[in-house]
Amino acid sequence: MEKSCEQALEIGLPAIAFTDHADFVKVNPGQYCVDIVGYLDSVERCRSKFKSLRIHSGVELGEPHWFVEETRLVLSAGKLDHVLGSVHCVRQGDRIIDASQLTKSPDVNPAAFAHAFFTETLAMIDGGQPFQTLAHIDYPKRYWPGYREQDFEEQLRAILVAAVKRELVLEVNTTRGNVLCPSQTVLGWWRELGGAAVSFGSDAHDPARIAAGFEQASEVVEAAGFKPAAEPTALWRR
C-alpha cells in the first residue's frame, strides 16, 4: 500500500482509493478475502505518512448476494469510502466457475458462461446488498477474445436499468490497458438509460499499474457524454 501511495504521488495523482477484494469463493489461488481490520490499520498508517495525498478506503465485494452474513461482517468493521459490488463466478451444475477459466477449461462454453454471468450480475443488483459502484460489468471480456457486447445487449441493458434504479455508479475498468470494460458502446447505453455517473478503476494489483489507461478512458467517457466531477477525482457525471 505504501509503494502504491509513493507511485500515486510520483505520477501526480491527488488521491488514491484502495478497494481490496472480499472474495468468499476460492476458485483460483489468487482470490482472497481482505483482512478488513488489518486493511483499515494500513490505510490509517498511510494517511499519517502521506499527508499530501487523499487516501480513500474501500472494498470490492465479490458475489455479495451469495454471502450476506460475510458481507455484513466486512462492512461493519469500520468506515469505508467506497464499496464496489462485483461478480467473478457463476454456478454451473455442481461447479463454481470463474471467468479466468474460460481460457483454461475447454469444457466451459464462453457464451453460456457470459449469459450466466449477466444473470448473476442482475441478481446481485436486485439483491439489495449495500454497494454504490458496479464493478467490471463485462468481466468475461477479459478472458474471451470472441466477446461482443452486442450479443448480450438485452441482458446488459437490463443490468443497466437496474443499476439506474439503484442510482449506482458504473465503473470503467482499465486493467487490460487498451481494452476498456465497458466499451464506449455500453457507456452510451448507460447514458441513454439514465446512468448518472461513472468512475475509473485501474484494478492495478501492482503499484506500477496505478491509473494505467486513465487518459484513454477519459477520452472514451467524454465521447459518451460524461464530464469530470467538480472535485478532481476519478468520478465523471453526465
Taking all residues of the chain, what is their mean pLDDT, rounded to a whole number?
A: 90
Q: Which residues partner with 199 through β-bridges?
A: 171, 235
Say if residues 17 and 84 touch (Cβ distance below 8 Å). Answer: no
Task: Check if the beta carbon of residue 190 is closer than 8 Å to that of residue 198.
Answer: yes
Decide which of 228 and 131 is more confident.
Answer: 131
- pLDDT digits 0-9 by tens, 177-196: 556 789 899 999 999 999 99
**pTM for this model (two decimals):** 0.92
Please, what CATH class does the domain formed by 2-237 belong to? alpha beta
> What distances in angstroms separate CA 198 from CA 11, 19, 112, 134, one per listed residue?
22, 16, 28, 9
Ranges of each domain in the chain: 2-237
* d(C-alpha 168, C-alpha 66), whole Å: 20
pLDDT above 70 as % of the chain? 92
pLDDT band of residue 213 (cuts 50, 70, 90) is confident
**How do beta strands 179-181 and 89-92 pair?**
unpaired
Sequence-distant contacts of 107-112: CB under 8 A, at least 24 apart: 110/140, 110/144, 110/146, 110/147, 111/151
Ranges 3-12, 89-98, 137-146, most confident: 3-12
Identify whether the C-beta of residue 105 lies closer than 8 Å to the C-beta of residue 27.
no
Whole-number Å distance between alpha carbons of 91 and 120: 9
The Cα–Cα gap between 205 and 203 comes to 6
Q: Strand 133-134 relative to strand 169-176: parallel, antiparallel, unpaired?
A: parallel
Query: Residue ranges of the alpha helices (H) in the chain?
Result: 2-10, 36-49, 68-75, 110-126, 153-165, 184-192, 214-223
Question: Would you say the C-alpha torsion 47, 218, 31, 127 has a positive or negative sign?
Answer: positive
